[in-house]
Amino acid sequence: MVTQTLSEVNSNNSSQNSAKYTFNENLNVEFLNKTYGENLSFCEKMFGIFLSTTDADMITLMEYIQHNNYEAVRALSHKIKNNFTWVGLPKLSKMMYDLENMARKQGSLNLNFNITHLQKSYSESLKYVKNEYENLRVFTSQNNTGI
């Protein structure tokens, strides 16, 4: 659990920024505020990396699931599970965590049963991440944020 914010660390550097950024309430606002504080350039980079990497990983993951490639599912879900937390989507992180554990058990559970729910949750959440990224880009270009 993040208990210290970057804003505390960077308060001297960012005190000149009077504008306050507000995250979309569909994301885990408490986590995002605690983690990124006023260092929104860091936040913007994290959202940018998420969109440039995790989306492709999710497509690959779905293929692995459809082919019952349990070891590949386990490894990839392990790799990307925390990415969702970093962009304020803890429920998807939990789903990936569960998927990793299911895959570790190698077929004791039917992965296809979960894929629909996972895909739906992901596609719904992705639009929030994309919107947030655009908002962050605009905000950081207009304000001198970050370290």
Partner 1 sequence: MIRTVVVDDNPMEVLALEEYCKNNEELVINSTFNDGKSALEYLKIERIDLLFLDIEMPGMSGLELMNQLVYFPQIIITTGNREYAFDAFEYDVVDFLTKPIGLARFNKAIDKVLSNHQKLNEVAISSSATELYVKSDGKFVRLPYSEVLYFENVGDYIKVISDRGMHIIYGALKSLAEKLTYPRFLKVHRSYIVNLDKIVDIEDNSLVIGKKVIPISRAHKPIIMNSINII
Point out which residues bind partner 1 (CB under 8 A): 1-6, 9-10, 35, 39, 42, 45-46, 49-50, 53, 75, 78-83, 85-86, 147
- Provide the minimum distance between the beta carbon of 5 and partner 1 in the complex, in angstroms, as a whole number: 7
- Provide the minimum distance between the beta carbon of 7 and partner 1 in the complex, in angstroms, as a whole number: 10
**Integer Cα distance of 42 and 110 in angstroms:** 38
Residue among 3 and 22 whose Cβ is closer to partner 1 = 3
- Provide the minimum distance between the beta carbon of 137 and partner 1 in the complex, in angstroms, as a whole number: 16
- Provide the minimum distance between the beta carbon of 78 and partner 1 in the complex, in angstroms, as a whole number: 6
Q: Give every CB contact of residue 108 below 8 A, 6+ residues apart in sequence.
A: 102
* Helix ranges, the chain (H): 6-9, 11-14, 29-36, 40-49, 55-66, 70-86, 90-104, 111-142
Residue among 8 and 25 whose Cβ is closer to partner 1 = 8
Residue among 2 and 109 whose Cβ is closer to partner 1 = 2
Say if residues 47 and 87 touch (Cβ distance below 8 Å).
yes
Residue among 35 and 140 whose Cβ is closer to partner 1 = 35
Give the pair of three-digit tokens for residue 66. Answer: 């459809």
- Provide the minimum distance between the beta carbon of 33 and partner 1 in the complex, in angstroms, as a whole number: 13
36: exposed, middle or buried (C-beta count within 10 Å: 0-12, 13-18, 19+)? buried
Residue among 79 and 137 whose Cβ is closer to partner 1 = 79
Whether the CA torsion 115, 118, 124, 130 is positive or negative: it is negative
